[in-house]
């Protein structure tokens, strides 16, 4: 996982915050302006989207065209219902809030340190000379009010030793000099604390937040591809849950990998009963296909035994392991008879549903080099009925091979477009906004496949749009009439939509 652009944006974000704060900009405004200039999560979105497409392709063994993945990447998959775009938007707000909060807390802490340190002079009598016997106690209190670790212990103690020597002079000038030295120590230390706070907020927390989203989304993308590769493979009858070699601590994933929940063997799930993956942020567990006849199988026919299989696994674990997954009180409840599925952290009972829609069998013979030539699927082949041709056309329209955009020449039928010319007497739509591609696709799905006398598709879909008025132009007279019907011409390059007369389908 490489987040080169995101990391560069984070670096620039940090520098811009420092620059704006140095100019006297308020914290909230500085962070907001810096983020507007260097939107970290926008960079993350672009990088994760591109890498997720690659991971989907890797997961399915490169057997599907890249076009298949684009629409799938931004579909929601987690329990919160967030798409990648929504998760990134939420992340943007979280980053701005987190960074501003961290910096303000540091400034508040700095003010407290300064106030405490300087008020000590008042407590010991700033307008008087400190009695020699009071200096050691004063110095100890002064040292104690500084966070030595963050301030730099050796450097601070060196500065404060000079303060002590000034006080021991037992003069008004010495007291004043000591006071100023403490102020200098506070300010230099506060600068370090503030810079560290900015670094922590931008470089550590923001980078961690970005990596967590990226790692989780890429893991999910890979498994979407993996499922697409094996879902229709009849030789593969199950999946084996496998822990990552970097699995850091015991959680529900250990149970999934080691318990026999379906009577097929430890960690083995029927293909339609796999728990949602990833289970949690940073989850790097993965699946392995289990082929019919594999030695891993104790049975090829699944028999759900969720409660029993889980309890058998828990019975073999230490109390600490059980508590890691069930919690202290949950572990006691399960021992008293409560279902482990009610107490296990991270267990949802939901199953993995891939975001990649399976390719229809009717289209598979026509896929060549990752694409489909529309001319091939439009033909009526030996032994086919007209109905089977139309069915294949609908499969094509629902597939990722169908081009969901207008061809460049659509503008000749849109009044006001640079390609439109009244002199050409072309039928037209009043505005481009009347025919957004999202609406056109809905009309297409409700339209009618047009065929030739030979029963072949003529690559046209007739549609109705009752809420959108188009204008028919008579080529001979130029007479204009309203219509609520169109023909959508389909090609490998895209769609071309033309108003038509209303007639029965």
| Mean local confidence (pLDDT), 175-189 | 62
Q: Which of 113-127, 383-397, 420-434, 439-453 has the lowest mean pLDDT?
A: 113-127
Q: 97 and 206 in contact (C-beta within 8 Å)?
A: no
pLDDT at 74 over 90: no
User: Predicted confidence band at 150 (pLDDT cuts at 50, 70, 90)?
Assistant: low
pLDDT at 128 over 80: no
For residues 261 and 282, what is the distance between their CA atoms, to the nearest angstrom? 24
| Mean local confidence (pLDDT), 472-479 | 93
pLDDT at 112: 67
Q: What is the 8-class DSSP label of residue 23?
A: T
CA 430 to chain centre: 39
Q: What is the 8-class DSSP label of residue 327?
A: -
Q: 228 and 261 in contact (C-beta within 8 Å)?
A: no
For residues 208 and 361, what is the distance between their CA atoms, to the nearest angstrom? 43
pLDDT at 337: 96
DSSP character string of 225-290: HHHHHHTT-TTEEEEEEE--TT--S-SHHHHHHH--SSSSSTTEEETT-PBPSS-STT---EEEEE
| Mean local confidence (pLDDT), 185-205 | 71
pLDDT at 256 over 50: yes
Q: Which of 171-175, 424-428, 439-443 has the lowest mean pLDDT?
A: 171-175
- Average pLDDT across the chain, whole number: 86
Q: Give the 3-state secondary structure of residue 73.
A: helix
User: Predicted confidence band at 131 (pLDDT cuts at 50, 70, 90)?
Assistant: low
| Mean local confidence (pLDDT), 168-192 | 61
Q: Report yes or no on whether pTM surpasses 0.85.
A: no
| Mean local confidence (pLDDT), 9-37 | 91
Q: Give the percent of the chain with pLDDT over 70.
A: 82
Tokens 């405490």 correspond to 116
**Greatest mean pLDDT range, 82-91, 337-346, 360-369:** 337-346
Phi, psi (deg, nearest 5) at residue 311: -65, -40
Tokens 């399976």 correspond to 358
Q: Which of 97, 59, 66, 106 lies closest to 286, judged by CA?
A: 59
pLDDT at 180 over 70: no
User: Predicted confidence band at 462 (pLDDT cuts at 50, 70, 90)?
Assistant: very high
pLDDT at 336: 96
Compute the Cα dihedral for 344, 348, 354, 360 and give only its sign: positive
Range 251-260 burial, b when 16+ CB lie within 10 A, else e: bbbbbbbebb
Q: 130 and 175 in contact (C-beta within 8 Å)?
A: yes
pLDDT at 175 over 70: no
Label residue 246 left, alpha or beta by phi (over 0 means left) and psi (-120 to 50 means alpha).
Answer: alpha
Neighbours of 267 (CB within 10 A): 23
User: Predicted confidence band at 505 (pLDDT cuts at 50, 70, 90)?
Assistant: very low
Compute the Cα dihedral for 31, 32, 34, 40 and give only its sign: positive
What are the C-alpha distances in Å from 45 to residues 38, 83, 85, 225? 13, 11, 7, 20
pLDDT at 420 over 90: yes
**Greatest mean pLDDT range, 8-17, 96-105, 334-343:** 334-343
**Greatest mean pLDDT range, 132-146, 155-169, 397-411:** 397-411
Q: Which of 14-18, 122-126, 404-408 has the lowest mean pLDDT?
A: 122-126
pLDDT at 127 over 50: no
| Mean local confidence (pLDDT), 112-123 | 58
User: Predicted confidence band at 136 (pLDDT cuts at 50, 70, 90)?
Assistant: low
What are the C-alpha distances in Å from 372 to residues 48, 216, 234, 359, 367? 28, 33, 25, 12, 5
Domain residue extents for the chain:
4-217, 231-342, 364-500
Helix (H) or strand (E) holding 463: strand 457-464
Compute the Cα dihedral for 347, 348, 350, 353 and give only its sign: negative
Q: Which of 305, 342, 307 lies closest to 325, judged by CA?
A: 342
């Amino acid at each position: 996982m490489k987040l080169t652009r995101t990391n560069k944006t984070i670096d620039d974000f940090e520098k811009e915050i420092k620059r704006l704060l140095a100019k006297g900009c308020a914290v909230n405004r500085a962070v907001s302006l810096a983020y507007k200039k260097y939107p970290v999560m926008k960079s993350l979105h672009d990088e994760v989207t591109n890498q997720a497409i690659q991971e989907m392709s890797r997961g399915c063994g490169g057997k599907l065209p890249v076009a298949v993945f684009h629409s799938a990447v931004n579909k929601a998959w987690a329990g919160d219902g967030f798409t990648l775009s929504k998760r990134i938007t939420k992340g943007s707000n979280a980053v701005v809030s987190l960074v501003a909060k961290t910096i303000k807390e540091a400034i508040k802490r700095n003010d407290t340190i300064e106030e405490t340190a300087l008020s000590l002079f008042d407590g010991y009598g700033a307008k008087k000379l400190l009695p020699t016997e009071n200096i050691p106690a004063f110095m100890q209190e002064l040292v104690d009010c500084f966070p030595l670790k963050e301030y730099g212990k050796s450097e601070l103690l060196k500065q404060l030793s000079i303060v002590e020597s000034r006080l021991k002079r037992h003069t008004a000038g010495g007291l004043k000099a000591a006071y100023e030295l403490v102020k200098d120590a506070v300010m230099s230390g506060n600068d370090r604390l503030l810079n560290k706070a900015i670094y922590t907020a931008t470089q550590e927390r923001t980078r961690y937040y970005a990596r967590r989203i990226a790692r989780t989304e890429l893991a999910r993308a890979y498994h979407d591809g993996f499922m697409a590769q094996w879902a229709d493979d009849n030789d593969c009858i199950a999946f084996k849950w496998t822990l990552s070699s970097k699995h850091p601590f015991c959680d529900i994933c250990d149970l999934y990998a080691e318990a026999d929940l379906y009577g097929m063997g430890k960690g083995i799930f029927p293909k339609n009963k796999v728990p949602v993956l990833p289970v949690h942020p940073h989850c790097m567990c993965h699946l392995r296909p289990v082929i019919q006849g594999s030695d891993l199988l104790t049975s090829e026919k699944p028999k759900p035994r969720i409660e029993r299989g889980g309890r058998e696994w828990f019975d073999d674990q230490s109390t600490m392991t059980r508590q890691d997954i069930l919690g202290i009180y949950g572990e006691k409840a399960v021992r008293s008879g409560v279902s482990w599925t009610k107490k296990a952290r991270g267990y949802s009972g939901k199953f993995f549903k891939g975001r990649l829609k399976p390719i229809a069998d009717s289209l598979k013979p026509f896929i060549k080099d990752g694409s489909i030539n529309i001319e091939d699927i439009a033909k009526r082949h030996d032994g086919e009925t007209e109905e089977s041709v139309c069915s294949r056309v609908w499969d094509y329209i629902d597939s990722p091979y169908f081009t969901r955009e207008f061809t460049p020449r659509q503008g000749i039928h849109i009044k006001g477009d640079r390609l439109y010319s009244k002199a050409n007497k072309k039928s037209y739509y009043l505005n481009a906004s009347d025919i957004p591609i999202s609406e056109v696709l809905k009309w297409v799905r409700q339209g009618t496949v047009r065929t030739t006398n030979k029963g072949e598709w003529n690559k046209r879909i007739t549609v109705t749009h009752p809420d959108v008025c188009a204008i028919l132009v008579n080529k001979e007279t130029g007479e204009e009439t309203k219509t609520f019907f169109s023909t959508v011409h389909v090609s490998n390059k895209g769609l071309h939509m033309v108003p038509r007369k209303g007639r029965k389908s």
